[in-house]
């Protein structure tokens, strides 16, 4: 599974919390990402935004679903910054999170970020 394979490559020597994400484009392509931490802690980036960056770099701009795999017992939703990054491209994204034991949670991005700041929020600027 793409998200699990990505999690195996997570660079997380500070949190010891590996995360993998697999973002599916509307043409079926899947883009994976893992969290990449840094000795300067705020420079680290989440798995979801790494996957999004890989996807946009490859020309994908519309997405249907993201799968997130961490090591927590409870499936973990994307953080607030990742919700904001994802809503730019996929306001109706389906989110599935899995725990190592196979527990699954599902949300829509609209449910997790009900009042988003979107490109339309910029008006005519
Ligand atoms: N992390 C993710 O990669 N995705 C999330 O949605 C939440 C948190 C990462 C950031 C950091 O490397 C580690 O997990 C602990 O917060």
pLDDT of residue 124: 79
**36 Cα nearest atom in ligand 1:** 12
Confidence of residue 115 (pLDDT cuts 50, 70, 90): very high
| Residue to probe by mutation, ligand 1, list 3, 9, 15, most atoms within 8 Å of CB | 15
Q: Which residues contact 60 (CB under 8 A, 6 or more apart)?
A: 25, 26, 27, 29, 31
Confidence of residue 125 (pLDDT cuts 50, 70, 90): confident
Q: Kindly report the length of the chain.
A: 125
Q: Which protein residue's CA is at the shortest distance from atom 13 of ligand 1?
A: 17
**35 Cα nearest atom in ligand 1:** 3
CA distance 59 to 84: 20
pLDDT of residue 58: 98
Confidence of residue 111 (pLDDT cuts 50, 70, 90): very high
Question: What secondary structure letter does DSSP report for 22?
Answer: E
* Beta strands at 104-108 and 94-98: parallel, antiparallel or unpaired: antiparallel
């Amino acid at each position: 599974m793409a998200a699990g394979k990505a999690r195996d490559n997570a660079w997380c020597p500070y949190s010891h919390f590996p995360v993998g994400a697999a973002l599916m484009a509307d043409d079926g392509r899947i883009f994976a990402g893992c969290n990449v931490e840094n000795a300067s802690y705020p420079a680290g980036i989440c798995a979801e935004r790494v996957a999004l960056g890989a996807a946009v770099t490859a020309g994908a701009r519309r997405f249907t679903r993201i799968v997130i795999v961490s090591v927590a017992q409870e499936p973990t939703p994307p953080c607030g910054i990742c919700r904001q990054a994802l809503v730019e491209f996929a306001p109706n994204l389906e989110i599935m999170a899995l725990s190592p034991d196979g527990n699954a949670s599902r949300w829509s991005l609209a449910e997790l970020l009900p009042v988003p700041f979107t490109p339309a929020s910029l008006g005519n600027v």
